Amino acid sequence: GGPEGEAARAGGGEPGAPPAASPGSAPTDEAPSPAAALQIDIHPCVGVVPATVRRVTRIELDSDLELAELTPRDVTRVWVECARDDTIALRVDDPTTGKTVTRRVDLSTTAAMARSRLLALAIAELVSASWIEHRMRRETAVRAVDATAAAPIRRFAGALAGRRLELPAAPTAPGPDRPSRRAKGLLYGLVGAAGRPAHLVGGGAFRVFVDLGERALLATAFEVARGEASAEGRDVLLHRVSLSTTFAFRERFGDLMLAGGVGARVGRALLRGRGAGGTTHVGAFGGAFLAGDALWRWGRLVLGARLEVGTITLPVNGTRAGRALAGLDGGWGTLQLGAGLVL
């Protein structure tokens, strides 16, 4: 689904009612304003209850938010979207001052029941920080070209912000912007080719991704795979378990993250010949690889795809009369698809 939005009117009075004029005087543009408008658009990926966010924002702004039908030039809009590093991006487009203010907040460690309230607190603080400009200076040297809201709307926004300055300190909103170090755990199914002679393999892996900063991540995985190769008329079963580590650089595109990097794998392999006279051989193997990952996040759910191509530098082979028949040697390539959660 797309972003959810709701326009709201702050303040008392009937919608569309003119400002009250003082006795004996005609109404003017300088009369007190009955309302200011605020619209909050929340992307579903944020994982909050929009109605709760708007209700708490109404309380925090000490105002009566009702459905309003005002022109866009009078409406302060708040955009709430998912950002990189599992943070939430807030943007306020304020036509009362002609500016846009932004902030990123981290709710990744917040309990689900508290996310909506803490997000509302952050929204109220950011809107107030923008509107408070009206209380700082009556006249500006240069008028902001994007200050399109009518004068009564601008005055009322300043009054709301002023009242917040006089309120007791609100509970602490989400902390300072910082990269999230939360891990993501995904369970993958894999299919590919490996070994010498080349043979099909299938299996699964559990992989954990940890952010190292704005552009880097580390992935560690435990993998189990199985294949069957044919050599000189004999079939050889190959079972392997391994651990791998990948260091990668990443880039985010909204809810999608793409990453590419290098890694190393070490493990143990069991080779067993089929049929009469078949023998079993167990040995260690290792190798290096290139990997590309795509991770798509929806709330706490993460879907992943991985392409891995590598070469075995520490091989393990089954032999007959001193000659290698089949084993983990040469190169490998796998395609992996998985799903998991933000841990």
Q: For residue 221, what is the domain's CATH number?
A: 2.40.160.20
Residue 123 φ then ψ, to 5°: -65, -45
pLDDT confidence of residue 307? 97
pLDDT confidence of residue 139? 55
Q: Is position 177 within any domain? A: no
DSSP string covering 129-155: HHHGGGGT-S--SS--TT--S-HHHHH
122-174 pLDDT tens trace:
998 888 888 777 766 555 555 555 566 666 666 666 666 666 666 454 444 44
- 153 and 271 co-located in one domain: no
- 197 and 281 co-located in one domain: yes
Percent of the chain's residues with pLDDT above 90: 34
Query: Of 103, 138, 166, which closes a domain?
Result: 166
Q: Is position 176 within any domain? A: no
Give residue 33's pLDDT band: very low, low, confident or very high (50, 70, 90): very low
Q: Which domain holds residue 46?
A: 4-166
Give residue 334's pLDDT band: very low, low, confident or very high (50, 70, 90): very high
Dihedral Cα 301, 256, 94, 38, nearest 10 deg? -30
- 160 and 207 co-located in one domain: no
Query: How many structural domains is the chain composed of?
Result: 2
288-303 pLDDT tens trace:
999 999 999 887 899 9
- 19 and 159 co-located in one domain: yes
Q: Is position 252 within any domain? A: yes
Tell me the CA distances in angstroms from 220 to 87, 206, 217, 241, 262, one per residue in order. 23, 8, 10, 14, 12
- 105 and 194 co-located in one domain: no
Going by the DSSP 8-state scheme, the letter that residue 197 receives in this structure is: T
